[in-house]
Structure 1
């Protein structure tokens, strides 16, 4: 937290310098810290090569500012997503709705539906809509009642170890549920699921698709071989713009059976 505040202060001072301010007292007034504080930061910025001796911002300084602005934008986007801060939203009418009616908002099958009944989240219909029609809801209040989905990552043997040949139906059955999305990353996973007649929901952009599904209330089981497992975990751990982190668990089937 202290480091983040320091970085933001440096960014603020550099922005003031970019706008032509070179006097310490003017910068201090703009960023709302003491003259002594600005003076210390200026020394540091010169040492780091972000400004030159004439108080001009360098190329490195400009790149630093753009990088911090991008980080700040991603942080704000993430917080807004977590808090569901939106002024209007698309929805599907669950019953006949008239323009100007206040409606309750519900998540059903991964989509937002509007009904003329109470909900923790509500808004005003922008126009008339029949059941099943799309509808814009504005003047939103409250938070949509949604239970986040989870991701199960199933590690399979790599093709070098025997691949799909080592997996039998009893290994897979407990992991399959009609209400859970299924994804396959790589040939071993694809062949394994097809071998047992399991429908596949995600084949491309699998991790991102599972994360999106989790934010719509769906859980997913993703199958991946040992060779691609590290990649899948890295994707799950990586922050996705606009999405909060999804809880996941690992089931390891890579050593269940061996080829003799």
Structure 2
């Protein structure tokens, strides 16, 4: 038998809504059924079920057990909604850089520029929103009531393995040339050897959360390069497996 705390269980959502209605105080069954979009007979059945579960008493007043049930259900639903928003990438508000002088309440178009989200008065983006407060061009601004999908093309994520045998002037030169050829915007070094390799190739490199940084950069439309050391291989593939499906990325493993 399904747990009553499993909000996706049969009738659990309606039981939760019924509990919320009963917490509003004494109301006629007809009013409750109208608000819930069910028949008075259906509402009566749900109340009887709540009484059998011990969630309301004979006067249809929520009990301590009923309040605990409601709290757990609301917590489960909140967690589900939070995960759904995160997994689907859907947002209702966001921060952006004002691409123009913007006024509160103004409609704006959201566009990704060099990995950063901008809000413009005019645009061809499929995503629009409303400015929450006035902001000058170049300042951060909050955009709410977002609708549509931001149109942008994900960048490439190149992954290069380096080793001690290649730690030579020729190896440094090849890495630098590859970086220039692929127009890399963000470089991450995973491992000490990888960091020194990038440093000798005169690359501006990040050593903090390099895998995650490269993934995020490519997701936001930038070309990223992840250079890793042999000893970091097992950690690299674990991190990639955790994020490839989530962010729909396609890493390109490359040899110099």
Q: Same fold (TM over 0.5)?
A: yes
Q: RMSD over aligned Cα, in angstroms?
A: 3.3
How far off is 1:222 after superposition?
Answer: 0.9
How far off is 1:28 after superposition?
Answer: 6.5
Matches within 5 A, 1:22-171: 76-81=84-89, 85-118=90-123, 119-157=125-163, 159=164, 162=165, 164-165=167-168, 168-171=171-174
Q: Which runs of 5+ in 2 are unaligned?
A: 15-75
Instruction: Mark the CA change 1:133 to 1:74 in structure 2 (over 3 Å): closer, same or farther.
Output: closer
Once residues 97 and 146 of structure 2 are traced to their aligned partners in structure 1, the CA distance between those partners, rounded to angstroms, is 15
CA distances 1:191-213 after superposition (whole Å, capped 9, x unpaired)? 1112222221x201111111221
- TM-score relative to the length of structure 2: 0.64
1:164–1:189: 8 Å Cα contact kept in structure 2? no
Residue 247 of structure 2 aligns to a residue whose secondary structure is: coil
Once residues 90 and 113 of structure 1 are traced to their aligned partners in structure 2, the CA distance between those partners, rounded to angstroms, is 9
Instruction: Mark the CA change 1:77 to 1:95 in structure 2 (over 3 Å): closer, same or farther.
Output: closer
Matches within 5 A, 1:248-259: 248-253=251-256
Structure 1 equivalent of residue 204 of structure 2: 199
Instruction: Mark the CA change 1:73 to 1:236 in structure 2 (over 3 Å): closer, same or farther.
Output: farther
- TM-score relative to the length of structure 1: 0.63
Matched, 1:16 2:16: no
1:127–1:136: 8 Å Cα contact kept in structure 2? yes
CA distances 1:170-196 after superposition (whole Å, capped 9, x unpaired)? 431342035421111112111111222
Structure 2 equivalent of residue 214 of structure 1: 218
Give every structure 1 segment of 4 or more consecutive aligned residues whose post-TM-superposition deviation is greater than 3 Å: 27-32, 71-75
Which structure has more relative contact order (CA 8 Å, sep 6+)? It is: 1
Residue 168 of structure 1 aligns to a residue whose secondary structure is: helix
